[in-house]
Amino acid sequence: MTTMQTGRRQTGASNFKPLVINFARREMRARYKRSLLGWFWSLINPLSTVLIYGLVFGVFLRALPPDLGNGNEGVFAVYLFNGLVTWALFAAIINGSMDWLAGVMDLRKKVFFPTETAILGGAIATAVQTAFELAVLYAIMLVLWNVGWTSLLLPLILVGIASFALGIGFVISVLNARYRDVRYLTGIALSLLFFLAPIVYPASILEGADLDTYGLPAAEIVAWNPVSVYVQSAHDVTYFLRVPSLGRIAVMVVCSTLSPMLGLAFFRRRSMEISEAL
Amino acid sequence: MTSPAISIQNVSKRFELSSGGASSIKEALVSRRRATTKEFWALRDVSFDIPAGSFFGIIGHNGSGKSTLLKLTAGIHRPTSGTIAVNGRISALLELGSGFHPDLTGRENVFLNGAILGLSQKRMESTIDEIAEFSGIGEFIDAPVKVYSSGMHVRLGFAIAVHVEPEILLVDEVLAVGDEEFQRKCFDHIYSLRRKGTTIILVSHDSNAMHTLCDEVAWLDHGELQQVDEPSVVVDAYLAHVNAQENERLADEPEEEATPTIAVETDDRRGSGEMRISRVSYHNETGAEIPAASSGDHLTIRLHFEAATSVPHPVFGIGVYHENGTHLAGPNNKLVDVEQPIIEAGTGSIDITINQLSLLPGLYFLTTGIYSADILHCFDSWDRAHKLTVQPGSAIERYGLVSLDTEWSVATTIPGRSD
């Protein structure tokens, strides 16, 4: 018996796995439809980003990469790529969640289904893309012979940041359906977060540096930015080949569990309203 | 007694008409206190049960809340208050191409729709051919739905809805689209679903469909439940209500054709003007003036005229036109050998009595004319100036423009092969 009550619908035995899979498939197919190089773009995109940032920060600004975990001299592009893979997953899920929800609203006005399935499906499609990048990163690390057992922890960290992003995406997508400004605010917030994590610069440049000139506790901000915690942990396991500190692990566990739970609760409470907006 | 498939209890639904408040954060902050939202109650305290396995109709005029009720049942909206308990898997055909994503192909939409109902890709792959075949859209199954014609939309939508083996099927007057053959196919399929025990809920303002299909009908008016009963009882009450309302509206309408007393030559009025029609009125058998006629019932058409001078033996005539322009009849008093007297200057009227109006419900227009005794000279001819609304009445026939009042024999056969 499926009972629908004011403000709540218990879906009972209904099975929404096929729907999530359907949305994921569609997102993957739509992503590189009508492009000549198709799936190649999913590799060309991150690599071109690495080239551009590598040129600007590594060559122009001469950012010095830290040494690799195997003791060899660091390679800035590799350091950059390691962080970018982690960051890109986070940003793609948050930006995508707004489009994924908006993309099914018309459909949702005509037939009932839980709209969170569209966001889950989109997140899965994004994860597939990340898997490609991960494979490339592993290949590079193998070539540099900078591998260890901790390298195997990276997928776990990526799942963690995806889960963290998903919770934020649930909230942001619903708010964006209501207020159009949310998309722009999100863009600003994301670029701020990007530079508040050691992706295009090594975390070490903040240590002991004379940054307090402006009265900003820069090192602390970067250290406590949750995205930064994931990025640094990703560096830990694949670049430095060490286990992240307990503090970082604790932050990640808390963020990765609380965020989707709270986000989904908020989403479920608010998503019925937006489907009724005429 | 089986348990109901759908139990609707004290359901009310409120919509907010203005955009629902602020659309930007700035607006929300600035005008937080003045969210001037107009409310609209689409449904008010509606309660009834829909028995499992029944063919249930919901009737009402436009805006009565019947489609809203269906949307609540389908879970698209949720009630503002009250509960709707649904027992079974619902498949809904709510509007043209409902549940289709315009950029996806027909095939992809079939899978999407299946997934929405919780059916796996594998399960849908086993029925996709059947669905494509049933809808008859051929190779268009691999074209994006946005290029489909409205008929193809409905056919594919219907094909999906009935092939996912729903336990409850909601249909919102979409079956009117599509050609005769497809409609017949749909009804065949609906009947076979019904035999399998599917509960079917049909929303429509078509009283014929309600009569022929449903076991039980609920009538909604302005969001309030009026009646739930057998189709004939509810449909009759509904039609009586609709007729009464139309009469009220027609009576309120100001007389459009305020007659000019001087001869004004317009495109649709000509004649020398010695005699003119000033007004046309309609009356029932008791002589009372009525704003609209009823199909199959008595109708008296009264032509009011003014004569400027004495006119010898004029001939009065009318022309009856359907609103689509078809000329249906053109009686005059000379044809039936009734001679009019010499009409002196002044005003008067003449009655045309029809004992059983053979026009079927619809909108008609009357042309009025007054001619000289030899019909060579026109005093006044006013083309299609008078509206005649015909409402459902005692006429039994339904198709076409007129009722032929036929008698049928019982078929006889001679046993044997037909060659």
How do the domains of chain B map onto residue ranges?
A: 4-246, 269-391
Predicted pLDDT at B258: 43
* Domain range for A179: 68-201+214-276
pLDDT for B64 equals 86
How far is B181 from chain A, CA to nearest CA, in Å?
27
Residue B178 is predicted with a pLDDT of 61
Cα B414 from chain centroid (whole Å): 43
**Whole-angstrom Cα distance, residue A269 to residue B386?**
58
DSSP lists the bridge partners of residue A16 as: none
For all residues of chain B together, what is the average pLDDT?
A: 83
**B332 and B317 Cβ atoms separated by less than 8 Å:** yes
For chain A, residues with pLDDT lower than 70 are 1-14, 32-36, 38, 208-215, 277-278
Q: How far apart are the first and last CA of chain A?
A: 30
pLDDT score at B19: 52
In a domain, A18, yes or no: no
- The CATH number corresponding to B269-391 among 1.50.10.10, 3.40.50.720, 3.40.1370.10, 2.70.50.60 equals 2.70.50.60
Confidence of residue B260 (pLDDT cuts 50, 70, 90): very low
Query: How far is B394 from chain A, CA to nearest CA, in Å?
Result: 40
- Categorize the per-residue pLDDT at B172 as very low, low, confident or very high, splitting at 50, 70 and 90: confident
pLDDT at A88: 94
The mean-pLDDT minimum among A71-80, A263-272, B36-45, B405-414 falls in: B36-45
Task: List chain A residues with CB under 8 Å of B126.
Answer: none
Mean pLDDT score, B83-109 = 80
Predicted TM-score (pTM) of the model is: 0.71
Q: Does residue A183 lie within any of the structural domains? A: yes
Q: Within a domain: residue A39? A: no
Q: Is A264 part of a structural domain of the chain?
A: yes
In this prediction, residue A6 carries a pLDDT of 33
* CATH code reported for the domain at B4-246: 3.40.50.300
Please give the pLDDT value at position B352: 92
Give the total number of structural domains in chain A.
1
Residue A118 lies in a domain: yes
- C-alpha to C-alpha distance for B175 and B67, rounded to whole angstroms: 15
Q: Measure in Å the smallest separation between the Cα of A9 and chain B Cα atoms.
A: 8
Task: Place B395 in a pLDDT band, splitting at 50, 70 and 90.
Answer: confident
Q: In this complex, which of B16, B23, B76 lies closest to A275 when CB atoms are compared?
A: B76
SS3 call for B95: coil
Q: What's the confidence (pLDDT) of residue A265? A: 94
Which residues of A fall below an 8 Å CB-CB distance to B?
1-7, 9, 14-19, 21-22, 26, 106-113, 178-182, 272, 275-278
Reduced to 3 states (helix: H, G, I; strand: E, B; else coil), residue B302 is strand
Residue type for A12, please? Answer: G
Is A18 in Cβ contact with B104 (below 8 Å)?
no
CB contact (8 A) between residue B80 and residue A6: yes
| pLDDT, position B97 | 57
A207: in domain? no
Nearest-CA neighbor of B365 among B290, B268, B272?
B268
Tell whether the model's pLDDT for residue B318 goes beyond 90.
yes
Cβ distance of B121 and A21 shorter than 8 Å: yes
pLDDT of B23 reads 62
Say whether A110 and B84 touch across the interface (CB within 8 A).
Answer: no
B24–A108 C-beta distance less than 8 A: no
Asked if A110 lies within 8 A of B120 by C-beta distance, the reply is no
Residues of B in contact with A9 (CB under 8 A): 75, 78
What is the DSSP secondary-structure string of B112-180?
A: HHHHHTT--HHHHHTTHHHHHHHHT-GGGGGSBGGG--HHHHHHHHHHHHHHT--SEEEEES-TTSS-H
Average pLDDT rounded to a whole number, residues B387-409: 84
Measured CA to CA, the distance from residue A79 to residue A53 in angstroms comes to 11
Whether A245 maps to a domain, the answer reads: yes
Look at A110 and B104 and tell me if their CB atoms are within 8 Å: no
For residue B71, is pLDDT > 90? Answer: no
What is the reported pLDDT for A11? 41
Residue A8, in any domain of the structure: no
- The per-residue pLDDT for A145 is 93
Please give the pLDDT value at position B374.
Answer: 85
Whether B76 sits inside 8 A of A111 (CB atoms) is yes
The closest CB to that of A111, out of B20, B92, B121, belongs to: B92
pLDDT at B1 over 60: no
Cα distances from A263 to residues A27, B23, B176, B419, in angstroms, run 22, 22, 44, 76
Backbone angles phi and psi of B86, in degrees to 5: -115, 125
Report CB contact under 8 Å: A19, B79. no
